[in-house]
Structure 1
Amino acid sequence: MAGSRFSVQVEGLNQLKRTLRQLKDKDLSKAVRQANKDAAEVVKPDAQRGVPQHTRTSKDNKKYRPGKLARSVKVVASANSAAIKAGTSSRAPYAGVIHFGYPKRGIRPNRFLYRAMARNSDKVSETYEREITAVLRDKLES
């Protein structure tokens, strides 16, 4: 899913990242990474439900197992950001085709990740604010 992103901008985040680098506090960086991950985890269940479902028919290949794409949805987080990804090159290489479509093959886009993020953006913002506030409060009190 190269190039396209749906993001939430946080005011003051660049200054927080700069301060984290200056402090060189690994525990604080880990806590911020966990806060990023917790905020992104809010979207994951909705994204998994949004994956197009297909039931197995008698004409399908015996190796075909529906649900691989839904199981491949995962959260990747760092101290700087968090992302929700679907598909891997080995298990579900067709994730990009499902999400962005393939007009030459008649596959219409199903932007399940974008829809999940749009539906949950308020919850993500609230979770992120709550988690970052708790991290900073813990750090300032200790």
Structure 2
Amino acid sequence: MAGSRFSVQVEGLNQLKRTLRTLKDKDLSKRVREVNKAAAELVQPDARRGVPQRTKTPKDAKKYRPGKLAKSVKVVASANSAAVKAGTAARSPYAGAIHFGFPRRGIKPNRFLYRAMARNSAQVSETYEREISAVLRKKLES
């Protein structure tokens, strides 16, 4: 999905990433990736629930299966970031039109990903801070 992104900025994250690169510690990088993924997974269920639901009508094409967009909501994480994404080019290419709207087709924006992140941002921040602190504490103790 192209366009703007709702994000949580973490103070000192760039410095942490630089330090990870200089340490060349693969285990630490892996653990930071796991923390990023865990923080993003807090948003995923709420995002799935926020996807607009529609039931199949007799006029719909035979191929139409409701719920494909909700199933496509996934978490993508790396040592640098994490994201909750919806839609794929092959299975649900309409995700961008649903999320950002498509005025020429009469589709109003339904920013379900942004709303899910806004509702869970405090919990994401707390989890991220707690988990990163634990990772760093464990690394400094060893």
TM-score, length of structure 2 as denominator length: 0.97
1:53 alignment partner in structure 2: 53
Amino acid at match of 1:52: P
2:76 alignment partner in structure 1: 76
Amino acid at match of 2:99: H
| Identical aligned residues as a percent | 82
Partner Cα separation in structure 2 for residue 135 and residue 103 of structure 1: 46
1:21 alignment partner in structure 2: 21
Q: Deviations over 1:27-74 (max 9, x none)?
A: 000000000000000000000000000011222222111000000000
List alignment gaps of at least 5 residues for structure 2.
Answer: none
Superposed, which structure 2 residues align to 1:1-142 within 5 Å? Answer: 1-142=1-142
Amino acid at match of 2:71: R
Q: Deviations over 1:82-103 (max 9, x none)?
A: 0110000000000000000000
SS in 2 for 1:75: strand
Amino acid at match of 1:8: V
Offset of residue 136 of structure 1? 1.0
**Range moving further from structure 2, 97-106 or 129-138:** 129-138
Offset of residue 2 of structure 1? 1.6
SS in 2 for 1:65: coil
Offset of residue 138 of structure 1? 1.6
Partner Cα separation in structure 2 for residue 8 and residue 24 of structure 1: 26
Offset of residue 26 of structure 1? 0.4
RMSD between superposed Cα atoms in Å: 0.8
SS in 1 for 2:84: strand
